[in-house]
Chains A and B, each alone.
Chain A
Amino acid sequence: MISDRVKRNLTRTFRESMLPKLGLVLLVVIVVMAMFAPILATHDPTRTGYFHEEGGPYPPPGFEYTTTVASDGEIGDVEVTSTSEHLLGTNTVGQDVYSRFLYGARVSLLVSLFGVSLALLMGVPFGLVAGYYGGRIDDGLMRLADVMLAFPALVLALALIGVFGSQPIQVPDPIVLAGVADGMPESIPIPGSVTVVVALVTWVWFARVARGEALSIRNEEYVKAAKSFGTADWRILLKHVLPNSLTPIIVLATIQMAIIILIEASLAYLGFTGTTLSWGYEIETGQDVLRTRPWVAMVPGIGIVLAVISVNLLGDWFRDALDPNIEGSERGA
């Protein structure tokens, strides 16, 4: 488990550097955004048609633009101004950008949390068993890993989406269901197959790290002792090998979370997730109007960067404190 030495290292590195503190603050902000999106949001993020009376979306402060309108047979330029009603303006179909920014955090975090959990469940048991027993299972795992790694993560994810299609899952919103936030959607769609796909492309990293740990732990004295008492293998794996491999697995999970956020955003940007409530998708819709309505693409990107930075900073902190050499921790989307 997490030993005292590890705890001391964590506190020491946290005190010594600004970066873990920044990461923690950012993560808290993102998590609060995601959890309390229905309360913090000013509009239903899926409702369309919030357009300026002169036509066209509302700009955020600082992005006022002029548009040409014809009235009473006269053609003239009209200044389209920002409104306090829509803090960050509205997008091309007239949805509130600020509200969608908040809900985007929810989608991003849900996909990465589910994705990492699934990858852990797939990779860790496989890796532990392979490393502990060695032999054929181990050879098989290592060869499979070689094959998996020959695919770029994003390319494999795209191919898998081609197979599974993109099935959204409706995730109910407890806050709205409790009646606290009126007028917000009772459930939001998250890209279900994407969650499975990101796990399928990242599990092998967990398997490799777990295998490496099991391989060294199986020769430890306490494992040999347990064996000599006749303890069953599954018990040794659960009681000794798993707890002692946790540290590097936690570090890897943090870093893979950042990677999964980026993969989800990329898939959504390419239009392969089947859902439209996503930072990545929002950027795609902003691309066509980049010149005239730049905020549509700008705002959601800031969300992605903040979320990924926060997770990366925590990952760096854990890695510096726990283990500087974890394989697979320097691999991007």
Chain B
Amino acid sequence: MSMLKFLLRRTLQGVFVIWGVVTVLFGLRAVSPGDPASLMLGQGATQELVERVREVEGLNEPIYVQYADYLGSLVRGDLGYSWRSEREVEMMVLERVPATIELAVAATVIALLIAVPLGVVSATRRGTASDYGATLFSLLGISTPNFWLGLMLILVLGVWYGIPYPSLSGSGSVPIGVGFVDLPTGRRAVGFGEALMAIVQEGSFGEMGLWLKHITLPAITLGTYFTALITRLTRSGMIDEFGKPYVTATQSKGLPGVLVRYKHVLRNTMIPIITVLGLQMGTLMGGAVITETVFNWPGLGLRLIDALGVRDWPLMQGIILFIAIMFVTINIVVDALYTYLDPQVSVE
């Protein structure tokens, strides 16, 4: 089977899963208490008005007609209007996507940069102090709720010590601690795209510095769980690989240990880790919801919490649907990568 056929089949499966997600979301809204028309209009709406809205929105139709309508509008790419702000849900979702993606990518990058070397050291120096240190760190990392971790980072770095932070605008170093209100409450001052444009167009690095400064603590907060997880996976994966016959064979052929370790063992270890990372995207998004709340980071998660608080169903559905589509897409990409990385796995 060709790669194209494989991708087509996985996409079809993905569409099926998304249809299931849509159905679950529709079902949840249908069984949730409270009349949508009243929720839409807020308190103090006249009975007459509520009736009119019910009529216009098709809420008096039988449930299967409403379901068909909902599916139909989604297929046309219409996510509806927010009940509270009366804006298009599509816009309200899309404008928050960059902030969340920046956070998720930054967290993943931090995780990979720290975790893979840590896992390698841990696996190659089993039983040493560095192995115990890494094990303890990863144990703490997977056991700490990220909202608490975020607050403790703010407390220790921001309030008590204030770590010096290089200022790229040229006025020496600016301690984060001084900016207690500035940094921890997050407040994404500038987007990554804008910061990049500033460098390209004006040669100004100030915006990028600002972006970095604002994303540092949220990204560490979100990334710690993944750092811990990948450290564990790398360690156990490499230990498993070391026991395999090919390692002994390559070593007996006289290949240097370093080469064996990185070219063969690490590569084989990374394959399952990439799959786990894909499956962990859901956890990453769940973590982003919390992290964004702690740091007031204006992403999808914060908007989801706001929407939940006022029971703004179209907005909630739109955000959750978007997250699910992202999850499914990433996992298709991961599967494709998997077949590319591991020659033993055929697209069958």
List A residues at the B interface (Cβ < 8 Å): 19, 143-144, 146-147, 149-156, 158-163, 165, 258, 262, 265-266, 269-270, 272, 280, 283, 286-287, 290-291, 294, 297-298, 301, 304-305, 308-309, 312-313, 324, 330-333
Contacts and interface: CB of A to CB of B under 8 A. Distances in A.
Nearest to B23: A147
21 contacts: A147-B21, A150-B327, A152-B282, A152-B323, A154-B286, A154-B290, A155-B286, A158-B289, A160-B28, A265-B145, A291-B155, A291-B180, A294-B159, A297-B155, A298-B155, A304-B144, A305-B148, A330-B229, A331-B283, A332-B142, A333-B145
Contacts of B143: 258, 305, 308-309, 312
Nearest to A307: B143
B108 to A, nearest CB: 14
Contact of A147 (B20, B229, B304): B20
A313 B135 CA distance: 11
B20 A143 contact: yes
A266 B151 contact: no
B32 interface: yes
Interface of B: 13, 16-18, 20-21, 24-25, 28, 31-33, 135, 139-140, 142-145, 147-148, 151-152, 154-155, 159, 180, 225, 229, 232-233, 236, 276, 279-280, 282-287, 289-290, 293-294, 304-305, 308, 311, 316, 320, 323-324, 327-328
Contact of B290 (A270, A294, A312, A313): A270
Contacts of B279: 149, 331
Instruction: Tell me the interface secondary structure of chain A in the complex.
Output: helix
A331 B277 CA distance: 10
Contacts, number: 153
Q: Sort A-B residue pairs by CB-CB distance and give the 7 closest, nearest first.
A: A147-B20, A154-B286, A301-B148, A152-B286, A152-B282, A308-B143, A309-B143
A150 B159 CA distance: 39
Given A304-B145, A305-B144, A312-B142, A162 B32 contact: yes
Contacts of A151: 21, 24, 282, 320, 323-324
B280 A332 contact: yes
A280 B145 contact: yes
Given A153-B283, A269-B147, 15 more contacts: A146-B16, A147-B21, A150-B17, A150-B328, A159-B316, A162-B308, A163-B31, A266-B147, A304-B144, A305-B140, A308-B142, A308-B143, A313-B139, A332-B280, A333-B286
B323 A331 contact: no
Contacts of B32: 162-163
Contacts of A305: 140, 143-145, 148
Contact of A146 (B20, B33, B316): B20
A301 B145 contact: yes
Contacts of B152: 298, 301
